[in-house]
Amino acid sequence: QVQLVQSGAEVKKPGSSVKVSCKASGGNFRNFAINWVRQAPGQGLEWVGGIIPVFGTTEYAQQLQDRVTITADEYRSTAYMELTSLRSDDTGLYFCARVPLPAAMRAYFDLWGRGTLVTVS
Nearest to residue 35, comparing CAs of 88, 111, 120, 118? 111
Q: Give the shortest CB-80-to-another protein separation in angstroms.
A: 18
Q: Give the shortest CB-13-to-another protein separation in angstroms.
A: 26
Q: Give the shortest CB-71-to-another protein separation in angstroms.
A: 19
Residue 63 or residue 85: which is nearer to another protein going by CB? Answer: 63
Alpha-carbon gap, residue 83 to 62, rounded angstroms = 14
Residue 14 or residue 40: which is nearer to another protein going by CB? Answer: 40
